[in-house]
Amino acid sequence: MGPEPGAGLALLTAESYFGRGVSSPERLLERARALGHTHLALTDWRSLTGGVRFFRKAQELGLKSLLGAGLPLATPEGTFPVLLLAGSREGYARLSAHLSRALAEGSLPLAALLEDNADLVLLTGGREGFPSRLLSERRLEALDRLLKTLEAAFRDRLFLALYHARLPGDDRRVRILRALAQDRGLPYVPALEVRQATPELYPLLDALTCARLGLGVEQPHPGRPRNEAQALPSKEEALDRIPFPEAWANARALAEGLAFPLLPERMLDPPVPLPPGRTPQEELTRLAQEALRRRYPQRPAYQARLQEELATVEALGLAGFFLLAHQVVAWARSRGILAVARGSAVGSLLAHLLDLTPVDPVAEGLLFERFLHGGMKALPDIDLDLSSRRRQEVIRHLEETYGAQEAMAAAYVTYRLPLAVQDLGRALGLPAELRHRLTRALGRDFRHLPPHRAQEAEPLFREVLGEAPVKGLLLRLLALMEKGHVRHLMPHVGGVVVAPGPLTRYAPVVRSAGGIQMLTLDKDDLEALGLVKLDLLGLRMLSALERAREEVFRSEGVWLDLEGLPQEEAVYRPLWRGETLGVFQLESPAQTAMSRRLRPKTLEDLAQQIALVRPGPIQSGTVRPYLERRLGRERSRPLHPVLQGLFSKTHGVLLFQEQLLSLLHHGAGMGWAEAEAFRKALSKAQDEEDLKPLRERFLEGLRATLGLEGEEAMEVWRLVEGFRGYGFTESHAQAFARHAYASLWLKAHHPAAFLAGLLSEAPGMWPPATLRQEARRLGVPLLPLSVNRSGLHYRVEVARGVKALRLPLTAAKGVSEDFARAILQQRLRGPFRSLEDFRARLEPPEDVLLALVKAGAFDELHGRREALFRAGLAPEGPLLSEAIPPPPLPPLHLGERLRLDLEAKGLSELPLHPLDLLRGRLEELGATPIPLLRPGPALTAGLVVARQKPPTAKGHAFYVLEDGPHRLQAVIPPEVWARRYRVFRDARILLVQGVYTGASLRVEEAWPLKDV
């Protein structure tokens, strides 16, 4: 009995771009439904990554979804691809475990599959499967042995797969395989190899297959598709290729029996250690109540807030989540690792009492419901910022504590234009130099585009490739790529998952290239499977603060409590002058200008400033009224008393997400769940069609709750409508404000230690040479790199009664931390007496030795030129080297030394700047040095140290030009950017002409200084 007339088919094989295909799981399902099919299996090669998305989309479309995967099976007869389909949730877990082993070992041993295969169905594989391979090799006895072995283990769960890709001989092959199955009494099913949703994707499939195999499109290979037959077939085409009704009936019967619910109904508790006989909720309550009695005794408001939060946590089943976060932070702090929560979790009193954050949410008036409320459908985030240099210690601790129950979530790396150009260009035979020129030419305007929008950058493709035929072909291939096409997986930046059992129950587990244990699903898909994710984020600024604290302790014997620093107005004053370099979240040119205008004096001022210079407030027009009212130039408009209470501390503007949620709840009568859904819908609204239902719901809520109507209600709506862009949560801003103040305080009181932290950890946007100029401004000398004095990181030393910074060995480009440690270990035997002594004791690679010499590491033993001469001698041994005296060599003049320093280290200890060497040329041109500019028309020059072209700036670009310790923001209008695009893209030193406003220069013309 075959398929019913008019009924769709059950297709048992399809690969998405998570395997060897080029279409998303969602697009495959949409195409299957359009073709009238009823069942579709996702069987990506060595992957289950698309499974959750596939299952959810199938539910939405009303299709039956099946999950499986292809993997290499190692048998005594050889290694062959097979397909395994999961028949239940337990079968899915077994398949995931088998895939984990296959990914680790290269293949799955037959014995492992024979031992554990319950609820799994095996399809024998397609063209490269063992029936076809062994038949073509005439190894009939081997085929018989393998089939008998698998039949004994799988019984009625073994199916012989029939394939047909419209290749020569496929008609004969499919009939031979059918005859084989009938002869042995095996069930057989069609298994058409599907790797693309539609036929027109064939060129893209071929090109990306070539890229994956390391081939050019001119090279034949059996792994390449040879026609369009790997597209999802219509019913008519499928029956034409495999014209056996009984095979299709087998497929439908099999598919009906394999459908199962993948997603659980509730979240799963992480396996945190608990005292005997105590539940996670009981332990959480005990810890919180003890902390409350200790820190806030006799405070009814705190007790009421805690009871409310505990009840919400219990209702959502998240007690284990809080306990896990508490245990991670407690362990980190016990090792001196800076660890603190960020984001909406800072608005939780529970988080505060569990020592996740120093912010008191009751005192600061923070909203718990932005973090958690009873109607939540998605898990909240507890984001923990850790010192980035020690984050791996925390992850290692979790691995040792939870073993196979802990891993990092994956992040899906999707194609952007530069990466797509590299992969497709390589397949099309574009030389590496041309590919790199093309990706560089894309610049800031086009490098973030998804590949299917490549036509927008066609002029740049023409600039590099001319009108060569490959240009058109490359653009056509890029246009075929689906938005969001996933290229590969990598460990999530912070998402750690701890599961109540082996992680392979949920997804295959692999080791990344960096040795990190990683689940092959992203955080959203893992949450859908019931797993809690804790974000452990490495924050470089915490590393810088941590290292600065260590330098203060090492040089002064004082241990600083960075969470308990005293509030001092003098610490804020440098911000008023725009001295923001190195200050967390406040060092960008926009924040520097805002600091001069706002003149912050408190942590709340810092939090509001951090939130103000964001896309949402900028796009909504919030910045101007906030500034005018904050500076006393304009009064806030009178509002309804409820609204006045919500907006009073932000001067009548809507600045934080919590304010919007409170407005929706208290002002428009929405429950917290509806308010959160409204906020998300508002953030995605793009036009009047999107906004109309939101406006109607909000205005009706205002009328019913507060009695506001007409223009008064519309005025409030305009506040809401303006909040469509991305805005901070207040709790997040409060957390970041404390990091900002710590960096300000250290810069004011311990500038050398602070700079040591900044230069060692590089937490901000400025290059080392710019930080060096800041040290010059602060009066902190830099001591030269020394093979006998330098360490692994920047260190504070006292030189001539002044605290100075010693450059580390790793400042020399090409010197690794491992080799620097080897130098330090050799120094325990005594200082190096000469370059030859160094060479004899360490036997350094010649490129590393030369890097150290160029960087001046031997300057105290030999002049720089002499050291270069000695380094160039053949390293036969110290006697021969020392026997060849260097010729008379003049010392380097300052310009030569500066150039060599910048090449070898990226900065120089000399109190010079590259523009100091060009003063004569600039004076001839009439250029005014940056510190001498006055408002009005101006011609000036500077080294480009920062480039920004944010999408919210309406085509404007913002460059920062540097002249010694002085910096200038250059604002480049769109028309100037378009006219001089290549200059702005390529120049390192710019001569710019325009109008100076006192804070920035609006550029009218620009030249690269080398062309002047």
CATH number at residue 247: 3.20.20.140
**How far apart are the C-alpha atoms of 415 and 211, rounded to whole Å?**
14
Same domain, 889 and 927: no
**How far apart are the C-alpha atoms of 642 and 646, rounded to whole Å?**
7
* Of the candidate ranges 490-499, 763-772, 883-892, 928-937, the one whose mean pLDDT is the lowest: 883-892
863 in a domain, yes or no?
yes
Those residues whose C-beta lies under 8 Å from the C-beta of residue 337, and which sit 6 or more positions away, are: 386, 387, 390, 393, 394, 546
Rounded mean pLDDT of 50-78? Answer: 96
pLDDT at 883: 54
Same domain, 579 and 679: yes
pLDDT at 68: 97
Query: Under a CB-based contact definition with an 8 Å cutoff, are residues 540 and 762 in contact?
Result: yes
The pLDDT confidence band at residue 540, using thresholds 50, 70 and 90, is very high
535 in a domain, yes or no?
no
Rounded mean pLDDT of 486-511? Answer: 90
CATH number at residue 931: 2.40.50.140
Q: Is the pLDDT of residue 624 over 60?
A: yes
556 in a domain, yes or no?
yes
- Enumerate the H helices of 85-169 as residue ranges: 89-105, 110-115, 130-136, 140-154
Rounded mean pLDDT of 67-75? Answer: 97
Rounded mean pLDDT of 384-411? Answer: 87
Tell me which of 905, 923, 951 is where a domain ends. Answer: 905
Q: Is the pLDDT of residue 981 over 60?
A: yes
What the block records as the tokens of 885 is 């005296």
**How far apart are the C-alpha atoms of 805 and 784, rounded to whole Å?**
9
pLDDT at 949: 87
Rounded mean pLDDT of 203-222? Answer: 95
Same domain, 900 and 919: no
pLDDT at 823: 97
pLDDT at 873: 58
* Residue recorded with tokens 């709750």: 705
**How far apart are the C-alpha atoms of 673 and 377, rounded to whole Å?**
8
Query: Under a CB-based contact definition with an 8 Å cutoff, are residues 866 and 889 in contact?
Result: yes
Q: Is the pLDDT of residue 23 over 80?
A: yes
pLDDT at 4: 58
What the block records as the tokens of 205 is 């499939």
523 in a domain, yes or no?
no
Instruction: Give the DSSP H or E segment for 418.
Output: helix 417-427
Query: Under a CB-based contact definition with an 8 Å cutoff, are residues 55 and 81 in contact?
Result: no
pLDDT at 848: 95
Tell me which of 905, 927, 943 is where a domain ends. Answer: 905
**How far apart are the C-alpha atoms of 771 and 946, rounded to whole Å?**
13
pLDDT at 203: 97
What the block records as the tokens of 135 is 């038949």
Domain of 601, in residue numbers: 541-737
CATH number at residue 855: 1.10.150
941 in a domain, yes or no?
yes
Angle, vertex CA 188, rays to CA 183 and CA 190, nearest 5: 140
Same domain, 962 and 997: yes
**How far apart are the C-alpha atoms of 393 and 338, rounded to whole Å?**
12
Closest C-alpha among 941, 945, 942, 974 to residue 957? 974
Same domain, 822 and 965: no
The pLDDT confidence band at residue 617, using thresholds 50, 70 and 90, is confident
Q: What is the mean pLDDT of the chain?
A: 91
What the block records as the tokens of 588 is 């960008």
Strands 108-109 and 188-190: unpaired
346 in a domain, yes or no?
no
**How far apart are the C-alpha atoms of 162 and 123, rounded to whole Å?**
9
Same domain, 731 and 695: yes
**How far apart are the C-alpha atoms of 431 and 437, rounded to whole Å?**
10
pLDDT at 92: 97
**How far apart are the C-alpha atoms of 973 and 787, rounded to whole Å?**
48
Q: Is the pLDDT of residue 877 over 60?
A: no
**Total domain count for the chain?**
4
489 in a domain, yes or no?
no
Kindly report, residue by residue over 301-315, the tens digit of the pLDDT. 999 999 999 999 998
Query: Under a CB-based contact definition with an 8 Å cutoff, are residues 972 and 958 in contact?
Result: yes
- What Cα–Cα distance (Å) separates residue 362 from each residue in 346, 349, 350, 358, 869? 11, 7, 11, 12, 68
What the block records as the tokens of 348 is 């939780």
Q: What percent of the chain has pLDDT over 90?
A: 72
Same domain, 895 and 929: no
pLDDT at 888: 82
Kindly report, residue by residue over 930-968, the tens digit of the pLDDT. 999 999 999 999 999 999 888 777 889 999 999 999 999
The pLDDT confidence band at residue 2, using thresholds 50, 70 and 90, is low
Rounded to two decimals, the pTM is: 0.82
Tell me which of 716, 737, 758 is where a domain ends. Answer: 737
**How far apart are the C-alpha atoms of 744 and 882, rounded to whole Å?**
51
**How far apart are the C-alpha atoms of 26 and 45, rounded to whole Å?**
17
What the block records as the tokens of 61 is 């479309």
pLDDT at 876: 44
The pLDDT confidence band at residue 445, using thresholds 50, 70 and 90, is confident
Q: What percent of the chain has pLDDT over 70?
A: 97
Same domain, 886 and 918: no
Residue 814 CA to its chain's centroid (Å) = 26
Kindly report, residue by residue over 337-395, the tens digit of the pLDDT. 999 998 888 999 999 999 999 999 999 999 888 888 877 766 777 889 999 999 889 98
Same domain, 947 and 800: no
Kindly report, residue by residue over 698-710, the tens digit of the pLDDT. 999 999 999 999 9
Q: Is the pLDDT of residue 268 over 80?
A: no
Same domain, 700 and 632: yes
The pLDDT confidence band at residue 726, using thresholds 50, 70 and 90, is low
pLDDT at 6: 52
Q: Is the pLDDT of residue 631 over 60?
A: yes
pLDDT at 404: 67
pLDDT at 875: 44
Q: Is the pLDDT of residue 1011 over 60?
A: no
Q: Is the pLDDT of residue 725 over 70?
A: no
Instruction: Give the DSSP H or E segment for 769.
Output: helix 768-778
81 in a domain, yes or no?
yes
Same domain, 16 and 153: yes
Same domain, 937 and 876: no
